[in-house]
Amino acid sequence: MSLRTESLASMCEAVVDCPHSTPVWTKSGYVVLRNQNIKDGRLDLSEPSFTDEEHFKQRIRRMAPRPGDIVITREAPMGEVCKIPEGLTCCLGQRQVLLRPKADVDADYLLYALQSPFVQNQVRWNEGTGSTVSNIRIPVLEKIEIPRHDQAETKIAKALGSLDSKIDLNRRINRTLDAIAQAIFKSWFVDFDPVKAKITAIEEGQDPLRAAMRTISGKTDAELEQMPREHHDQLAATAALFPDVMEESELGEVPKGWAVKRVDDLMELIYGKALKSTSRQEGTIPVYGSGGVTGYHNEALVPHGAIIVGRKGTVGSLYWEDEPFFPIDTTYYVRPKGVSMAYCYYAMETLGLDQMNTDAAVPGLNRENVYRLELVVSDAPVLESFDVISTALRKAVHANSVSNKLLADLRDSLLPKLMSGGLSVSSFINGEGA
């Protein structure tokens, strides 16, 4: 059975190129989409960029993005797509094209179709010369053929969307789990909340242990009484680990018995190694640059999990990797010294590494400058208690990440089959023929 197709232009009300001028960047204001925000079919605005009202209006003169519109990148990288979500007011950055699907075209279906190998192959190859291209021109983009499946298109989009919804849910859960670990670290090792709660309780003639238990758990006395005895006793044991006195140090007042240490007493930053994209062999080992995973290789430089730190480019970026990986020469990776990987990770998040650029031309992070920074380190029992909690949280994060990899692999294997008609959406929903 031959595949019925239709040109992208005929499925869209408009195919509009972005302004060619460089956006004027501001610290706040209107969101400007950047190619780095568009990956794997989704829009990630965890690190947004902004412009002011005047330049925003200039960039939307031809057309303002609205919910349901699709953005496709023309180059660097080419062919990445996302859909504009509800509630977002934004403008295009550079090297992007805005697609507005016609009223009778399912925008989610078009989003998935644009990600299919059938379409991506058209994006990456110049039909006239038979050669790969580094960017795609509007006339070529408009002629790209999109698979059509009539009434089944909405069902295809919903089937694939159900997998992406689960992936997004797991991502949100992971962000929450990570935020919990960050909050605990800051409360214990930066703000010293359990220690200060004990001191205040003593001054007011109250039970210092109970005060620390409330601070650590966020529960009231009544809620503490309702806790299962095992959990209550475990919380009390944790609260008892914290001192009830502060003492002077070079960093000001710190909990009594705790130490002020330099970063190089706690961890080593090790240089990554150059690995050109042309030298990479097909494999499953993630390759990390300062902007995150840049591809995959068949050999790991680091045979275990570690923390990756952006050295050049995205200065001070932090990534947690549980499995073997290959950090390239724009990064460091961390080797802990007597403390856990979790302690290093959450401690580094408090150091403001992203503000430590030492090279005006090419942003860079000098590890000797990092080594000179100081941290307050508790005694071993408190560190061990934090490790127990953070390890449980990180295990949950890892489990969700593994689940997401399996879900993404399933989605990516189903996508070409559903688009080509090799698998009917009803068979997929009923669990047949996969």
User: Total domain count for the chain?
Assistant: 3
Pair 300, 175 in one domain: no
Pair 321, 183 in one domain: no
For residues 85-115, one letter each, b for 16 or more C-beta atoms within 10 angstroms of the residue's C-beta and e for the rest, the string is: eeeeebbbbbbbbbbbbeeebbbbbbbbbbb
pLDDT in 10s for each residue of the chain, 434 residues: 468 999 999 999 999 999 999 999 999 999 999 999 999 999 999 889 999 999 999 999 999 999 999 999 999 889 999 999 999 999 999 999 999 999 999 999 999 999 999 999 998 885 444 456 678 899 999 999 999 999 999 999 999 999 999 999 999 999 999 999 999 999 999 999 999 999 999 999 999 999 999 999 999 999 999 999 999 999 999 999 999 999 999 999 999 999 999 999 999 999 999 999 899 999 999 999 998 999 999 999 999 999 999 999 889 999 999 999 999 999 999 999 999 999 999 999 999 999 998 766 677 999 999 999 999 999 999 999 999 999 999 999 999 999 999 999 999 999 999 999 888 877 666 654 44
Q: Is residue 431 part of a domain?
A: no
Q: What are phi and psi of 406, to 5 degrees?
A: -65, -40
Pair 220, 288 in one domain: no
Pair 247, 345 in one domain: no
Structural domain boundaries, residue 303: 262-377
Q: What are phi and psi of 89, to 5 degrees?
A: -100, 120
Pair 245, 266 in one domain: no
Pair 241, 276 in one domain: no
Which residue in this structure is represented by tokens 């009390």? 236
Q: Is residue 415 part of a domain?
A: no
Q: Which residues pair with 332 in a beta bridge?
A: 271, 309
Q: Is residue 136 part of a domain?
A: yes
Pair 289, 349 in one domain: yes
Rounded CA separation 234/221 (Å): 16
Residue 144: name the closest of 166, 122, 121, 171 by CA. 122
Q: Is residue 157 part of a domain?
A: no
Pair 138, 34 in one domain: yes
